[in-house]
Amino acid sequence: MLAIFGSMRFNEIPGQHAIRARLLQAVKTNRVSHALMLSGSPGCGHYALALALAQYLQCTSPIGDDSCGVCPACHQAAQFVHPDIHFVFPVARTAKIKDEPSSDDFITEWRQYLTGNPYPSLEGWYHAMGIENKQAGIFKKEAQDILRKLNFKSFQSDYKVIIFWMPEKMNTTAANKLLKIIEEPADHTVFLFVTCGTDEVLPTILSRTQLIKVPKIGAEHLYKKLAEEYPGQEKLMQRVVQRSQGDYLLAREMIDQSDQNTLNRDWFIRWMRISFGLQIKEITDWVSEVSEIGRERQKWFLQYALSMIRNNFMVNQGLADLATLDEEESAFSSKFNAFIHPGNIEGLMEEFDLAIAQVTMNANPKILLTDMSLQIHRLLRLPAPGAKG
Ligand SMILES: [Zn+2]
């Protein structure tokens, strides 16, 4: 059970050594500010740092500059269930929660969301809560909950920690209720605010905290982390690190995107080859694979395929400059473009347009893709006008 949750030790966070040293120094000299404001881009790792600091404060046998990762307190912290670590984050009304919501109403979802992903983003969290089309916030009820929780004695340890994500989403009523306790909390109560934009945090809150600007992750550390997570893809990781501005979330998004693009390309190339050769067994395999992926993803793939057909037609017409093909796509196109010509371009485009419309209208993907494979076979075999048959 515990193994699936992992833990959140400082050593698992890429880079940020200067910030870590600063936080640890404060703990060791017993001068942890009662309200820290960690500010940085969503993927700089500031939430992970807050989790690691909370765990370190609760750990019963820290080792050097890190929590031990194995004591009961560490295990509880790693599962986000330590009784003296409280979580605050933006929430919204849903079909389930009709009254003013607070974090407690969504704590199960929050734990699930954080598991394996200590880099929360507002978009990701909205998706996890299932409220894509609403605005989330931190409301009066939340402030009341916090005051009530801080009224209890801490359960197990000296420290009570409130990890407060996105204070910029807190409304004025809630903030006013919290001003006093943030300014003068009980001993060993620590507010760890984690923000992506101090400009939007209410000045009354901001002025009561010690601001720590968390910089972007150093390229070398980000590369090391990504290379561990995606072994054997060093080239792609180098490109991603260059372009992700030291932001882990941005890097992950770019990798996912790039994976999907690669998949589209591989599917397309395979599909054209086996349809051209009318390799029935391979077509059946390919169709079952692509039938599995879900409607939205199928639509995206078919749109990609349509754009590849268009691009190859342009290459065929001597307009390669206008085609938008990457290196691998161009390599395939160098021979394939001969098969996309004025004699079949209209027929092919009609097939793909129709297929995209049918996927949208819930057509059975197996029947649709099998039929398309046969049509593609027929169309690719049509002679180019003027060519000797
Ligand atoms: Zn421990």
At 324-381, the pLDDT tens digits run 888 889 999 999 999 999 999 999 999 999 999 999 888 899 999 999 999 999 999 9
What is the pTM for the complete model shown? 0.73
Confidence of residue 152 (pLDDT cuts 50, 70, 90): confident
Please give the structure tokens belonging to residue 312.
Answer: 């190859």
Q: How far, in Å, is the centroid of ligand 1 from the Cα of 164?
A: 22
Give me the helices (H) in 29-171, please.
Answer: 46-58, 72-78, 107-114, 122-129, 140-151
E-strand spans in 28-109?
35-39, 85-88
Rounded Cα distance, 282 and 288, in Å: 10
CATH 3.40.50.300 fits 2-215, yes or no: yes
CA 244-51-114 angle, 5° bins? 70
User: Can you give the pLDDT at residue 117?
Assistant: 85
CA of 191 to the centre of ligand 1 (A): 21
Burial class (CB in 10 A: 0-12, 13-18, 19+), 32: buried
Q: At 189, which helix (H) or strand (E)? A: strand 189-195
Report d(CA 264, CA 252) in Å as an integer.
18
User: How far does the centroid of ligand 1 lie from the alpha carbon of residue 56, in Å?
Assistant: 7
Q: Which of 47-51, 185-189, 316-320 has the lowest mean pLDDT?
A: 185-189
Q: Average pLDDT, stretch 222-246?
A: 86
Would you say residue 29 has pLDDT above 90? Answer: no
**Cα gap 14→3, rounded to integer Å:** 21
> What does the radius of gyration of the chain's CA atoms come to, in whole angstroms?
27
What integer pLDDT is reported at residue 340 of this predicted model? Answer: 97
Ligand 1 centroid distance, CA of 53 (Å):
12
Distance 343 CA to ligand 1 centre (A): 71
How is the chain split into domains, by residue range?
2-215, 252-380
Amino acid of residue 215: P
Q: Is residue 196 very low, low, confident or very high in pLDDT (cuts 50, 70, 90)?
A: very high
Of 112, 116, 170, residue with least CA distance to 145? 170
User: Angle at which helices 107-114 and 122-129 pack, to 10 degrees?
Assistant: 130
Buried-state track 78-95, b at ≥16 Cβ within 10 A, e below 16: bbbebebbbbbbbbbbee
pLDDT in tens, 269-307: 999 999 999 999 999 999 999 998 888 889 989 999 999
- What is the model's pLDDT at position 388? 56
Residues near ligand 1 ion, CB 5 Å cutoff: 59, 67-68, 71, 74
Token couple for 387: 């060519």
- 2 falls in which pLDDT band (50, 70, 90)? very low
CA 200 centroid distance within chain: 23
Contact 67, 223 (CB under 8 A): no
Question: What is the C-alpha to C-alpha distance for residues 204 and 109, in angstroms, rounded to an integer?
Answer: 30
